[in-house]
Amino acid sequence: MDKENTGIDKGMVYRLISECNRRLPSNKRIKYSFTSDESINMILDGRMYIAIPLEDAYDKLKTSMKSRPDIQRGKGYIEKRMSVNAQAAHDNGLKPKSYFTNNVLQELGFSYSVSFFHWLIKSNYLLPTERHHTSASKNFTNFYSPESICRLVSTYNLDLLYNLYLDKITKDDAKKIRGIKYTRIRIPKSLLDSQGGVVDIDCILCDNTLFFTPKLCFSAKDPRIQILETHEERPADFKNTYTKGLIKNLLKRKAHSFDKYIKR
């Protein structure tokens, strides 16, 4: 069976295993380790499976859940304390911040401290997947998906952000490390979906890419574009309303995260 057709990925298998283990006593919990992005070792119902495809593991987990009353029975305190939407989020595999312990984060490939993970949330580098009422007093709780943590690991400059968190570097230091510069370019209006002639615009230069808006950028090597001037510090006449947001995104994200926004 083709994984691309089934849509089963590590995050989905991880969530299902977590849901099973949450309801099982410690001596009956599923033991597992991912061997690649497409396979897993797993001990389930007393049987060992070696490097089986994720879609097979998912099917076996679903079958096990249906056949075991110790997994199916009550969902515990959470039903009494959460709103309907919050319960639905939980059933769909979303978890509150407190769920992501060091061991859970390690399983998801996040090899830093829990306190750094909390800092990423507090600093709005990681946004919640959903937000719901979780008590009669109308308190809100943010919910996060395991997939969002996996994306964070693959697309964020976590080493750089970790040094910011530890106060080993300043944001100005981080900008220099990333090679962020302020640039004025001359560009054909056709690349801006306009007609006729050329126009001068201010962009942020980083990773050989010129960022004009969060979702529109150009290759610095594009022969149609002329770089007029480049500065390490922001010039007084630099005019780009997206500057602050662009720099924050460039500090946190790896270069390949923006490839889809490059205008060819």
Q: Are 217 and 264 in contact, with CB atoms under 8 Å apart?
A: no
pLDDT digits (tens, 9 = 90+) for 37-94: 889 999 888 888 888 999 999 999 888 887 776 555 444 334 444 567 777 787 788 8
- In-domain check, residue 111: yes
Which of 155, 182, 206 is a domain's end point?
A: 155
Alpha-carbon distance of 97 to 131, in angstroms, equals: 11
- In-domain check, residue 55: yes
- In-domain check, residue 147: yes
The residue-averaged pLDDT of 103-122 equals: 94
- In-domain check, residue 163: no
Instruction: Tell me the pTM.
Output: 0.63
**Domain span at 34:** 10-67
Q: Are 10 and 151 in contact, with CB atoms under 8 Å apart?
A: no
pLDDT digits (tens, 9 = 90+) for 129-173: 988 766 555 567 889 999 999 999 999 999 999 999 999 999 999
